[in-house]
Amino acid sequence: MLHGCFRRGDSLRRDQLVIPRVSVVIPTYNYARYVPEAIDSVLAQSFEELEIIVVDDGSTDKTAEVLRAFGGQLRVIRQERRGLSAARNTGIRAARGQYLAFLDSDDLWLPEKVSLQVARLDAEPEVGLVYAETLLFDDSTPATLTPHSYWASHPSGKILPWLVRQNVIPSPTPMVRRELFERVGLFDETLSACEDWDMWIRIGRVCEIAYVNRVLAKYRQHRENMSLDSDRLMMNGLRVLEKAFSAPDPSRELHGLRRTVFSRWYADFGLGRFHKGRYAQARRDLIRAVTLDPRLLFYRNTAAVLSICLLGSAAARKLRALKRAMGRHDVSTWASKSAPIGSKSTHSTGVMTARAESGAAEGE
């Protein structure tokens, strides 16, 4: 296996001239407790012609020490803390492979991931990005696994209209042709969340995207996931949507979608904020949603939740308490599975498999 341009058991120097077919970019920030498992999952790949590039985005824990233990099995690039997008971009610039794959340092790959995706890209030149199914697991209950497909559809082909509605691509899974970054640019370093969603939309404009219908990765959910910052996700998601609908659209693939997409974005966040007891913000978001598109009153439980919010925060709290006391399901169930749960980076409505970040690669 060519990790950092080396064969298993060899030093980095011995095979430094060997060009890998796949470059794996792992950005990390203060995840010394997780990154070894992520790296091990790459070292366990059945595909041999790959290099591993770990970009340490200014970690202050024991990340550097942990990475040294891997010796020549990977290339480590250290930089001052600049954020997830910048860390990924550093990895892209250093990569030499024909295909690039990204793995956040708290997630995991299954052994056949790289080989199956390389085969798909080799066989279908019109495809620029390949992604796959992912299982979501929680540190507190690692045996409980939820497929990403529970939250999102996984289309193939020209999927731009799907992508602007929701980030359907699980963050541990994309493999991308290297030359696409020359066409669409690097990750947007001004975004502090949803940066991967923005990238997949840009890629979706210029090529087809393919889905491998197999579980090839695991996405770790824990209390430090940056996807938990719903305000940051909302603001950055709105910026992603503004970029998407402001870009030239000669094929008119997005024609007529703007009002619906923005209104659902506000509605999903409004319902999520209602669930968290943030009634004033929920009322504001839901009013924006139905103002943009009155049909959103019939979307999920928007009408019922908005009616409660219009009564005021005190009344909303009393009604929810009364409902619980009556032994019924909590009103929070109204925020159903399509509500934002957060991409660790990235994202859109539904489970956001992108990670938001506060100027760090990960770990906040």
pLDDT at 205: 95
Query: Who has greater pLDDT, 313 or 264?
Result: 264
pLDDT tens-digit map of 129-177: 999 999 999 877 777 788 999 889 999 999 999 999 999 999 999 999 9
Region for 277 from its dihedrals, namely left if φ exceeds 0, alpha if ψ lies in -120 to 50, beta otherwise? left
Contacts of 219 (CB under 8 A, 6+ apart): 107, 134, 135, 136, 137, 148, 170, 171, 172, 344, 353
Distance between CA atoms of residues 322 and 223, nearest Å? 30
Q: Scanning the structure block, which residue is given the tokens 């970019």? A: 25
How large is the average pLDDT for residues 191-216?
96
- What is the residue type of 85? S
Q: What is the mean pLDDT of the chain?
A: 84
Local structure of 109: helix, strand or coil: strand
Q: Is the pLDDT of residue 16 over 60?
A: no
pLDDT at 11: 43
| Range of lowest pLDDT (117-121, 239-243, 299-303) | 299-303
List the Cα angle 175/239/163 in 5-degree steps: 40
Read off the pLDDT band of 300 (50, 70, 90): confident
Distance between CA atoms of residues 361 and 192, nearest Å? 10
Kindly report the length of the chain. 364
Distance between CA atoms of residues 149 and 170, nearest Å? 9
- What is the residue type of 317? R
Q: Is the pLDDT of residue 183 over 90?
A: yes
Distance between CA atoms of residues 344 and 170, nearest Å? 10
Contacts of 19 (CB under 8 A, 6+ apart): 5, 96, 97
In Å, the largest CA–CA distance within the chain is 71
pLDDT tens-digit map of 67-110: 999 999 999 999 999 999 999 999 999 999 999 999 999 999 99
Local structure of 27: helix, strand or coil: strand
Which domains, and CATH codes, for the chain?
A: 22-231 (3.90.550.10), 256-341 (no CATH)
